[in-house]
Amino acid sequence: MAWTRKQKRLGVIAGLGVVLALAAGLILTALRDQIVFFYSPTEIAEAGISPGTPIRLGGLVLEDSWQQDGENNVFVVHDGAGEMTARYTGILPDLFREGQGVVAEGSVQPDGTFLATNVLAKHDETYMPREVADSLRAQGVWQGEEG
C-alpha cells in the first residue's frame, strides 16, 4: 500500500512532535535541580550538593562577618537555622551590606565554604528577592512586608 502525500506529511509532523517532546523531557530532567532560584545554607547542607556544582546561595549577610582585603571578600550568609562562609574576589555591589539580603552565584568547595563568582545585592531600602524573603520568613528571621 502506497502512502499518499497527506499521510506522509502527517507522519513527518508526528515524528517531529515525538522528537520535540523527547528533547523537552531530557532538558527538564537535566535542569530539575537548577530550576530553583537559590538554596539557603540549611538547604545546601540538607541536599548534600556535591562540590563544584554551580548553584545560587541566598540569605542574609551575618552582622560583623564581612572581611575585606583589597578585592578579596569573605562573609557569612545565614538563614536563621544555618550559615555558610562565602568567598568572593572582585568588587562587591555598592548596596552590599551586613544584615541585608544577598544572592551569590558560585559553587560549594570541598572544605564546605562557598566560592562566589557573582554577588547580587538588594537594589533599594525596601527590596528583597521574594524567594529570600519567603525563606527567611519561614525560618522566623525576617518579618519584612509582603511583596
- As annotated, the binding site for heme includes 123, 127
Q: Which of 113, 105, 100 is nearest to 142 (CA)?
A: 100
Distance CA 117, CA 115 (A): 7
Residue 15 exposed, middle or buried by CB count within 10 Å (0-12, 13-18, 19+): exposed
DSSP string over 5-44? HHHHHHHHHHHHHHHHHHHHHHHHHHHTTTSSS-B-HHHH
Annotated binding site: 123, 127
List the end-to-end C-alpha distance of the chain, in Å, as a whole number. Answer: 64
CA-based angle 116:26:129, to the nearest 5?
Answer: 35
23-29: long-range pairs with CB below 8 Å, 24+: none
